[in-house]
Structure 1
Amino acid sequence: MGLVTYKQLAEHNNSGSCWIAVGGTVYDVTQFIHTHPGGAKIILKEAGKDATSAFEAVHSVELLPRFDETVKPVGTLDKSSERLDSNDSSTAEADAAALRRAGMPSLGSVLNSFDFEAIARQTMKPEAWAYYSSGAEDEITLRENHAAFHRIALKPRVLVNVSHIDTSTTFLKQTRVSLPVYITACALGKLGHPDGETVLTRAAGARNVVQMMPTLASCSLDDMLNARVDSQDTWFQLYVNADRNVTRDVVLKAEARGCKGLFVTVDAPQLGRREKDMRLKYQEDISDIIVKTGGDEEGESSTSTGQKKVNRAMGAARAISSFIDPSLSWKDIEWLQTVTRMPIVLKGVQTGADAVQAAKLGLAGVVVSNHGGRQLDTCRSGIEILPEVVADLKRAGLHGKMEIYVDGGFRRGSDVFKAIALGATGVGIGRPSLYAMSTFGQEGVERLLDIFREELEMVMGLMGCTKISDITEDMVDASHLSTRVSLVRDMLHQTVYEPLQPPQFNRSSKL
């Protein structure tokens, strides 16, 4: 392969002859555009240009030549040749990104998790912010997830020697972590940072917490696993593909590569209506990420994964999720038990009855979760469901047979303390880790984890606890948890929350 100038690249800018440059290599995608899962339009938008920025926003550069045999490398982009304005689609976005980050506060000014969110709201690309921050429909559950913590009161004990406080604990009876917090699975990390989920992997390793690696990551599973430090334990989150062979392959790969737990998402047989995301109709080509999320990192065709035609007007979430099998049932969980030796945890349990059923199957645990308020609006918060799960397991004589995790709305160390007091083994942190990554990269995520540890240490000290096992139910008053009435307004949360907007008039239109 020879060198290709920007001028030569620009000559192949239509459906009859379509070239794009990604990562310094020029590809002929003329045939591929007709079979592309996301349709031809998005590729033609980048025809004759260096599309690296647009492509890397959602997936690894190494993925492109593995998509289809019709993707043909034709040469190396000669970056010393004369650049045409139309050759680089990333220039305008780079300028816009620089403008958004102008005058950005320093990391030293960040005092709590809300600060990361406030900065991210101002600096992220609007489409990316909409995808990360959106909840289902009226976003009542999204807001309730955090508001519920304010209905739980703390009952401090005094005159306890708290000169040494240990926040470490053990997850799944095998992984010793520095605090009862893990980074939960969130999709499309490259919307916030060019290195995507590997930023979270490195930060988790640096602070000795577990990262749950997502099926819908914008990095490959290998990318994330290769970013681990020595002896770093990770979990894998699974969306079950309609093609069970694809599911089996990805599970076995995760196990072979050393993942210590399989977290099966069970609360997404259909996708919730995330209207903030839908309103912006995210235009980047993200549907083709589904090709790899079926489980084959070598890249399968849309036919082999059973990929359905995507309605892109429904937003990014629906575009990347149509491969998920809505027929998933308890029998499939029993089948997964025959596939892997990894401990299996159900992610998305919202009733005590389902937790009891999971325990009867001998599963390792459940994650009490409403999917970050992104699925069914007006359902209960994870922290409100938690006492019901514990109580039902006790009545069934199954309490202690499996571990209970919870996520949704955790923003303070005191939130973590309250969850542990109500029976949780550990707490998942989702959006805050994405906002920290999007604003300050790995250093930001490490600082976020430090803030959670510092706040938890402070709360434990003031509550008279020196270790996690000292935290007990009688240290909190949760009697008002289900009243849904909060007497105090949460000003920080209200400041960072962006209300939903109706369709806007275009007053510049001529009559």
Structure 2
Amino acid sequence: MDDVELIICAIEFISPFHSSCAVQKCQSQVGQLSLLKSTISLGRNANFNHFKAKQLSMIGFRSTLLKHKPIGRLSYRSRLRFSTRALKSPFNGERKIKSGVWVPSIILLGTITAFISKDDNIALDSKQTQGVTVEELRKHNSASEGIWVALNGQVYDLTDFLVQHPGGADIITHYAGCDASLIFNKFHAKDVFSKYLSPENYLGPLIGEMEKAADITEDNDEDRLERIENKPPLAAMFNLSDFEYVAKAILPKSAWSYYSGGSDDEVTMRENNNAFLRIFFNPKVLIDTADIDMSTEMLGTKTDAPFYCSAAAAAKLGHPDGELSIADGCGSENIIQMISSAASYSFDEISDFAKKSTSQWFQLYVHKDRTSSYEMIDACEKKGIKAIFVTVDTPLFGRREKDLRFKVGQTDDDESDETSGGGDDFILSYRDAGLCWDDIDKFKKATNLPIVIKGVQRVEDVLLAIEHKVDGVVLSNHGGRQLDFARAPIEVLADVMPVLREKKLENEIEIYVDGGIRRGSDVIKALCLGAKGVGLGRSFLYANSAYGKKGVVKACELLKDEIARDMKLLGVSKLEDLKPELLDLRSLYSRPIYQSVVGSNYEPLYLPKFKNEDD
């Protein structure tokens, strides 16, 4: 090969800290890559000298220990992604370490070599160098030929990923050899694969024009389109259940089955709301309630009302603006938005889109590779996120049969084996079932942001959370999507707070509740019991799906109006006056008998028939 001048040379440094870097001369006589500055920062860096090389078949660099001064805390493991471009040909590679352990600090030592380094090396795959043609992509459309898929102009080999996909293998094989960007972007943030697939799965850019394959989950039947055209005006929405009614009528079946489903017989999902219906009020009279103040402070952040938009995945399923319009609507009403790890827009897109005045929390699914989790915490700090909510109730998925039934209905394959929990985001397949209290302690040490654990379901775990000095807990069963027959969070709250008061621990931690909240009266009931605030997930998804940002704003307004009205009727003018004695809990634990799937198949016994009765 002739001498090739590299016109772009960059390293992407992914780490929870900035590190000072030194540069040594390369041992090789072939070429040298040198750093222009003494410090490499997080993100993409193009601070390297151009150089020429002969026989450019491989780029290698070595990593050795280097003294550095981490900022703010102990250093964590770091990750490097190295890429170059030689004229018009792209070169992409990933730093590999045979031991599988990332070194905590680095000397960047770039060399151009004609051999494989014994330590760290980057092999330039020919496909990554040249890209993949449309013709070649189309050939790889089966397990025997390989499952290749184009996504947003890039081609990936997903053959080995089929069994890992939380949404099942069928949906991937359907799009084998095609451009699946339409359905991919509907469920996933565009940067998901670049973060969570190994470098070997990336085959390079797509060369040539290819029509995007149709979204098989889209439901464009004439009846649904007519319902969209004739949906009620926003002014006709009088409560949150109205949004759910409209969303059910206009959403594609794929979106509705995903949003509305719970696990197994969906007993817990139904019980979450039903439990609120068994709590009654003891209102006071002759109290001055001329002025109502429902503003509060949650985890150090001021907000106009004691509720927040809880994390929910795949908002783009219901509305093309997805989490962006939710952020916009919540910001307009000074309501906190919790960003989901499984959002359909990237974290950067959502946090950058939000108004400067918008307060946001982040819901963290802990990655098996803890480095990624620390990187995410660091990113939250940089973006001004106010708190980290660590989800602790998903060692694996609950089985969400509504979603699974829809997916099975998209294939005629009798051998289809849908054993996943449903259509959750790709990122969730990397959750860590080994998450434990020690990890929570480490997260606390890694940041000054409040750490809240989300998914607590028993009194004893709240007490443990206090021992581990977490800032808050969310009593939650994941909206009834995990363990069926888990108790309703409001019932758990009624058990938790008396114990905390008895032990004089009620001021040591902030308690939040989500699941089943549909009315302002539900919010008030939770606050009377001792919750600091409540979260709503599905309700905001439905409002956003039906009316976008305006729907989110309207949902916030409706809840605020209901809270203000019910506080007046209860004889309370400010949140701190909401006390347990304002509630009658005698019916709370009288749970009804729920109809199950088994029961729906039951044929009742029949009485004796008269002779003149027809069979």
Aligned to 1:349: 456
Distance 1:52 1:94, change over 3 A: farther
Partners in 2 of 1:144 and 1:224 — Cα distance? 32
Q: Deviations over 1:149-196 (max 9, x none)?
A: 121111222222222212111101x21101000011111222212222
Which of 205, 220, 231 matches 1:72? 205
User: Cα offset for 1:394?
Assistant: 2.0
Q: Which residue of 2 aligns with 1:287?
A: none
Q: Does 1:481 align with 2:588?
A: yes
CA shift for structure 1 position 470? 2.1
Matched AA of 1:385: V
Query: Residue type matched to 1:267 in 2?
Result: D
Q: Could you tell me how far apart the structure 2 residues matched to 1:328 and 1:34 are?
A: 26
Letter in 1 for 2:581: D
Aligned to 1:109: 236
Is it true that 1:89 corresponds to 2:89 in the alignment? no
Stretches of structure 2 that go unaligned for 5 or more consecutive residues are 1-87, 89-132, 411-416, 602-615
Matched AA of 1:252: D
Length-normalised TM-score, structure 2? 0.67
Larger Rg: 2
Q: Is structure 2 residue 380 aligned with structure 1 residue 254? A: yes
Query: SS state of the match for residue 201, structure 1?
Result: helix
- 3-state SS of paired residue (2:430): coil
What do you get for the CA RMSD once the two structures are aligned? 3.3
2:358 to 232, 236, 241: 232
Residues matched between the structures, number:
451
Match of 2:256 among 129, 143, 157: 129
CA contact (8 A) 1:65 1:71 kept: no
Equivalence for 2:478:
371
Q: 2:403 aligns with which of 277, 286, 290?
A: 277
Task: State the SS of the aligned residue for 1:322.
Answer: helix
Alpha-carbon distance, 1:427 to partner: 0.4
1:409-424 equivalences in 2 (<5 Å): 409-424=516-531
Deviations 1:377-396 (A, max 9, x none): 12211111112111121233
- Following the alignment from structure 2 to structure 1, what is the Cα–Cα distance between the partners of residues 422 and 567? 42
Contact (CA 8 Å) 2:188, 2:342: kept in 1 or not?
no
| Worse-superposed segment, 151-160 or 31-40 | 31-40
5 Å matches for 1:304-383? 314-317=421-424, 321-383=428-490
In structure 2, distance between residues paired with 1:449 and 1:57: 25
How far apart are the structure 2 equivalents of 1:273 and 1:41?
17
User: For residues 361 and 313 of structure 1, do their structure 2 counterparts lie closer, same or farther at Cα, with a shift above 3 Å needed?
Assistant: closer
Shift of 1:219: 1.3
Aligned twin of 2:64? none
Per-residue displacement from partner, 1:96-128 (whole Å, max 9, x unpaired)? Answer: 363452422221111111111111111111121
Equivalent-residue separation in structure 1 for 2:540 and 2:179 (angstroms): 30
Distance 2:190 2:370 in 1: 27
Residue 533 of structure 2 corresponds to residue 426 of structure 1: yes
CA contact (8 A) 2:391 2:455 kept: yes
C-alpha distance in 2, partners of 1:131/1:412?
A: 23
* Pairwise CA distance, 1:145: 0.7
For the 8 Å contact 2:456–2:462, the answer to whether it is kept is yes
When residues 354 and 125 of structure 1 are mapped into structure 2, their CA distance, relative to the original with a 3 A threshold, is same
Q: 1:168 aligns with which of 274, 295, 307?
A: 295
Deviation at 1:54, TM superposition (A): 1.5
- Are positions 1:448 and 2:555 aligned together? yes
Give the match's secondary structure for 1:242: coil
Partner SS for 2:534: strand
One-letter amino acid of the counterpart of residue 259, structure 1: I
Query: 1:346 offset after TM fit, Å?
Result: 1.2
Cα offset for 1:33? Answer: 6.0
User: Alpha-carbon deviations, 1:425-481, whole Å to 9, x = none?
Assistant: 000001111111111111111111111001111101111222212222221112221
- Paired with 2:292 and 2:281, the residues of 1 have a C-alpha distance of 18
Q: How far is the alpha carbon of 1:13 from its aligned partner?
A: 3.5
Counterpart residue identity of residue 89, structure 1: A
Contact 2:360 2:385 in 1 (8 A): yes
Determine which structure has greater relative contact order: mean sequence separation of CA pairs < 8 Å that are 6+ residues apart, divided by chain length.
1
Cα distance, 1:44 vs structure 2 = 6.0
In structure 2, how many angstroms separate the alpha carbons of the residues matched to 1:351 and 1:40?
36
Q: Structure 1's 476 and 95: CA in aligned 2 closer, same or farther, altered over 3 A?
A: same
Distance in 2 of aligned mates of 1:224 and 1:318 = 16
C-alpha spacing 1:260/1:330, structure 2 compared with 1 (3 Å) = same
Matching residue's letter, 2:392: V
Per the alignment, residue 322 of structure 2 pairs with 196
The TM-score, its normalising length taken from structure 1, stands at: 0.79
Moved more, 433-442 or 46-55: 46-55
**Whole-angstrom CA distance in 1 between matches of 2:548 and 2:408:** 23
In the TM superposition, what is the alpha-carbon distance from 1:91 to its structure 2 partner?
Answer: 10
Instruction: State the one-letter code of the partner of 2:263.
Output: A
Per-residue CA deviations over 1:197-240 (Å, capped at 9, x if unaligned) read 22221111111011111111121110110121113221111111
Separation (CA, whole Å) in 2 of partners of 1:48 and 1:355: 50
Aligned to 1:210: 336
Deviations 1:355-379 (A, max 9, x none): 1111122111111111111111122
Q: Residue type of the partner of 2:240?
A: S
Question: Greater share of helix residues, 1 or 2?
Answer: 1
8 Å contact from structure 2 (residues 219, 253) kept in 1:
no
Residue identity matched to 2:241: F
Code of the residue aligned with 2:530 in structure 1: it is: G
Relative to its length, the structure with more strand (as a share) is 2
1:383/1:32 Cα in 2 relative to 1: closer, same or farther (>3 Å)? Answer: closer
* Structure 1 residue 268 displacement after superposition: 1.6
Asked whether the equivalents of residues 188 and 426 of structure 2 are also in contact (C-alpha less than 8 Å), the reply is no
- 1:421–1:473 Cα contact (<8 Å) kept: yes
Structure-1 residue corresponding to 2:247: 120
What stretches of structure 1 of length at least 5 have no aligned partner?
Answer: 2-7, 78-82, 285-309, 487-493, 504-511
Q: Distance in 2 between matches of 1:341 and 1:235?
A: 14
- The one of 147, 152, 163 aligned to 2:279: 152
Preserved CA contact (<8 Å) 1:131 1:277? yes
Deviation at 1:60, TM superposition (A): 3.7
Deviation by residue 1:16-42 (Cα, 9 ceiling, x = unmatched)? 79997766x5x555x566667649864
Distance (whole Å) between structure 1 residues aligned to residue 345 and residue 241 of structure 2? 26
